[in-house]
Amino acid sequence: MREAPILEVDQERAQRDKFYSLLEAKVLEDGLQNPEKKRINTRTVTSIDEYNKMIQAIEEAVEKTKGRTQKEHYLINKYEVYSVGETIKIILKRETQDDLVRFLVPYEQIFETILRIHNQVGHKCRDIMLQACNKNHLNITVEMITAFLNTCNQCIMNKKRNKTTGVVVKPILSENFNRRAQMDLIDFQSLPDGEFKWVMVYQDHFTKFLALRPLKNKSAFDVAGGLIDIVTIFGVPVILQSDNGHDLEIKAKKLFETVGYEGPEADCLDLAESEDLNELDDVFNPSEFELDEIIPRENSQENESESPAEEILRKANNLLGIRETVRTEVKDTEAPNLICRVVYIEFDKSLYELACEAGVLDTMFARNSFDLVKDCRIDYEIKLDKKISVRQAVREISIGGGQGMIKCNCTGGCLTNRCSCKKNGILCNSRCHGANGNCKNK
């Protein structure tokens, strides 16, 4: 049978019991920690019986004209009786009738009082609650509000998680491309795509560049085939990190033995975290090895006559060959793509030097910084006699003089040399000064 839902009244009763148990535990804890501390007799905790006796004592003290005791003088000087309908309550003595009314709350009614104020302010924090309670009440303390907030279910659910302290996490740092790579297998057996039930995820730790390969299963043959496609494009990483355990380590070692690469990378999964990685190691260069020795795979339907080794060699030549035409992106320009040609490859760092019609670019590019332009039919000549920056190259090649690379944030009419566009002899463009309608340089 299904359990009956807990009524709101039962929840409030449970919260009330927990609230008073926390208060009693706090009082007991303070008494045990400081047993010799002198306690001042205040009205912070006043039971309902003491509250009624105080009302009677105040009324009798007010009726007396003489012969009042010291306690009666104290009561009538500090408190007064206040009628709310048919209910008589004790409030702080006011100098005038316009002063704020502040009630003394009996101990048994503190929970209901805090609950009413808490709902009025909308489940706010302790300091807002304390300010709201002290506005019209005398004896509600910080400890009482803290105990109440620890019993409010909504406040507990809305409470932000405290930051973890005392735990030092040492980050993994990579110096450049192909220093560390991460690989894992994602299980799609519950949602397969035809025969493919696994996805191999390969990520370079430095550039965060991802490579995905669909797999029919996670056998050593399929994983090695997917890795061969990736390492012939990006090169073999110095460290290959994975949480698939010893099984994947064996597969990776077989792969590196297959491509004929022996060295630190062949044992990359066995490197200790404390091992020094500052010394540069060679990165896989496809031109240095006989790719015909790679384990043959099933021929694709599209290229039945092409062997796997020839297919991989063709991919490596297309992607890593010198004199190939590539397209690199240049942001904040009217012509965002720059057509270049690969003129030099630094294999040990997997970096490429590009040249365009304006000259050789002075920056080395990683493989993920440009795209290969297949079957390029653009007739252009590159210059190798000078080195220039990317933006200088765009400015020289652009028919508009590089407009779009220079922009201003003027608030006036852009008529003086304080305007960067006016100073460079160009008109302001759509990237300049937002919604400024005073511009005259258009």
pLDDT of residue 277: 38
Reported as half-sphere exposure (CB side, CA atoms, 13 A), residue 303 has a value of 9
How far, CA to CA in Å, does 376 sit from each of 48, 118, 185, 340, 401?
A: 93, 71, 36, 11, 25
CB-count exposure of residue 282 (10 Å: 0-12, 13-18, 19+): middle
Closest-CA residue to 356 (of 329, 320, 388): 388
Evaluate whether 205 touches 179 at the Cβ level (below 8 Å).
yes
Q: Which residues pair with 239 in a beta bridge?
A: 180
pLDDT of residue 305: 59
Q: What are 279-302's pLDDT values in tens digits?
A: 434 444 444 444 444 334 444 444
Rounded Cα distance between 404 and 420, Å, is: 12
pLDDT of residue 114: 92
Closest-CA residue to 233 (of 198, 284, 280): 284
Burial per residue of 288-319, b for 16 or more beta-carbon CB atoms within 10 angstroms, e otherwise: eeebeebeebeeeeeeeeeebbebbbeebeeb
Closest-CA residue to 329 (of 293, 370, 387, 377): 370
Residue 409 dihedral angles phi and psi, to the nearest 5°: -125, 40
CB-count exposure of residue 255 (10 Å: 0-12, 13-18, 19+): buried
pLDDT of residue 270: 41
Reported as half-sphere exposure (CB side, CA atoms, 13 A), residue 309 has a value of 11
Other C-beta atoms within 10 Å of 108: how many?
14
pLDDT tens, residue order, the chain (442 aa): 444 445 567 788 888 888 988 888 887 777 666 666 555 556 678 888 989 999 999 988 888 888 888 888 888 889 999 888 888 899 898 888 888 899 999 989 999 999 999 988 888 888 899 899 988 888 898 989 988 988 888 887 776 555 555 555 677 788 888 888 888 888 777 677 888 888 889 999 888 899 999 988 877 778 777 888 888 888 888 888 876 656 566 666 666 666 555 544 444 444 333 334 344 344 444 444 444 443 344 444 444 555 655 554 455 444 456 778 888 877 655 556 788 888 888 877 778 888 888 889 988 888 778 888 776 666 678 888 888 888 888 878 766 555 445 678 888 888 888 888 888 877 776 667 776 778 888 7
